[in-house]
Amino acid sequence: MPLDIIIGAQWGDEGKGRITDLLAQQAHIVARYSGGDNAGHTVAVGHETFKLHLIPSGIVHDGVLCVIGNGTVINPVVFLREIDGLAARGVDVSPARLKISRHAHLITPAHIALDKAAESALGKDAIGTTQRGIGPAYTDKANRTGLRAGLLANPEALGDAVLAHVEAKNEWLVKIHGAEALDGQAIAAEFAHYAQRIAPYLADTSVLLDEALQAGQSVLAEGAQGTLLDIDHGTYPFVTSSSPTAGGALTGLGLGPKVVGKVFGVAKAFSSRVGSGPFVTELQGEAAVRLRGTGANPWDEYGTTTGRPRRVGWLDLVVLRHAVRVNSLTDLVLTKLDILSGLPEIPVCVAYELDGQRLDHFPPEPELLERCQPIYETLPGWQEDVTGVRHLADLPANALNYIAFVAAHTRTAVSMASVGPEREQVAV
């Protein structure tokens, strides 16, 4: 059985959590491979809604084993808060069901303080990070000065490492940013306490996943963030610090390409982005409110992690073609199709115009993206309520036409479309 990968095809918040939840019904293992608690994945099941940040969305399915892979960064406080919250709701979060790679990196209060200080120093040029310490933790990883989760099983080494880490970061916080120094002893003591609870979750997850695949089990890799937030393939520097794309799934789990089955790219039927950076099809005013919602519904476009209103715009097929290419997507999954119901017509961006030239791909220099204008084709809308549709063929003709247009312009099958936030609100 293969490793199927779920990737965000845009700027995150495409609905990866709910699609992971759907596909987890047929999986033995669900594994997160990149990012940390900058992610916010919403899974709605009946009257219950789960907002997951670090724990894979598969946790909602009894019997599914969950893995947090080596490519992730873990804030121990968030991990413990999240498992305690899930346990209080009757979810089994015992170490028998949930494994953390020893090679995942830890996020500390010093990383969070540095993230905030760096953002504040950038002023109007700030990236708009989630301020969860993600960038500084991956910086330490690349700089070979990070703290790996395996340390949690070695109390003595952990205490020394945390103390040295905070002292080193204090130099930056105080001398460069003029911020307050953190108390290394207190943080080391906190980490010693977290270690007692987290150590039983540690495992060699690369071996575990390989053995599971060899035994015929199926593994679902749950992406966080999205292709356009990828450190290499996104709208740099307005990106996150990890590799949410398909290559990152392999590096982030310790597996090779031979085991890959399907690669699902999840895309909203329109576009959204939180944080700064270029967004060619962005809308303002009334048109934006129509797509974002006012915040009255739980699915309106306000960040799961930060509560920030998301920037919204029409669907951008230049973005989706980019996602198809860098991830080798086998399938596209369109979410929130229901939000487009009732529009008389729907513009879709098919290419960009830059200085009078038509571009079918992103311009090579990220700065040029700011100057690109969308070239739209306008498709007829549909007035019908689609929230009860469960088969693609039963969608209104103009919704089917919209999906066919996306498939044709990306040369990729659209194998599912979601029509509401609930688990069963998917047309296949």
Give catalytic residues, as residue numbers: 13, 41
Tell me, residue by residue from 338 to 377, as one string, x for binding to ligand GDP by CB under 6 A and - for no binding: xx--------------------------------------
- For residues 307 and 313, give the distance between their C-alpha atoms in angstroms, rounded to a whole number: 19
Measured between alpha carbons, how far is 336 from 268 in angstroms, rounded to an integer?
6
Torsion-angle region of residue 83: left (phi > 0), alpha (psi -120 to 50) or beta? alpha
- The item of Mg ion, ligand GDP, ligand IMO, none sharing an interface with residue 127, based on CB under 5 to 8 Å by kind, is ligand IMO
Of the candidate residues 4, 8, 255, 275, the single one contacting ligand GDP (CB under 6 A): 8
Q: Which of 93, 260, 274, 399 binds ligand IMO (CB under 6 A)?
A: 274
Q: How many CB atoms lie within 10 A of CB 62?
A: 8
Nearest CB to Mg ion, comparing residues 101 and 305? 305
Stretch that binds Mg ion, among 19-27, 35-43, 59-67, 386-394 (CB under 5 A): 35-43
Residues 6+ apart with CB under 8 A from 298: 42, 44, 49, 421
Nearer Cβ to ligand GDP, position 165 or 292?
292
Shortest CB 303 distance to ligand IMO, Å:
7
Q: Identify which of residues 95 and 303 has a Cβ nearer to ligand IMO in the complex.
A: 303
63/295 with CB nearer ligand GDP: 295
Pick from 20, 108, 170, 240 the residue near ligand IMO by CB under 6 A: 240
Q: Is 128 in the site for ligand IMO (CB under 6 A)?
A: yes
Output the CA angle 113-245-132, nearest 5 degrees: 15
Residue 417, φ and ψ in degrees, nearest 5: -140, 130
Distance from C-alpha of 155 to C-alpha of 310, rounded to nearest angstrom: 42
- Which tokens hold the place of 176? 């460069």
Candidates 11-19, 144-152, 360-368, 377-385: pick the segment binding ligand IMO (CB under 6 A). Answer: 11-19
| 66 contacts 168 by C-beta, under 8 angstroms | no
Alpha-carbon distance of 52 to 85, in angstroms, equals: 10
Q: With binding defined as CB under 5 A, does residue 40 bind Mg ion?
A: yes
- Is 18 a binder of ligand GDP (CB under 6 A)? yes
Binding site for Mg ion (CB under 5 A): 13, 40, 304
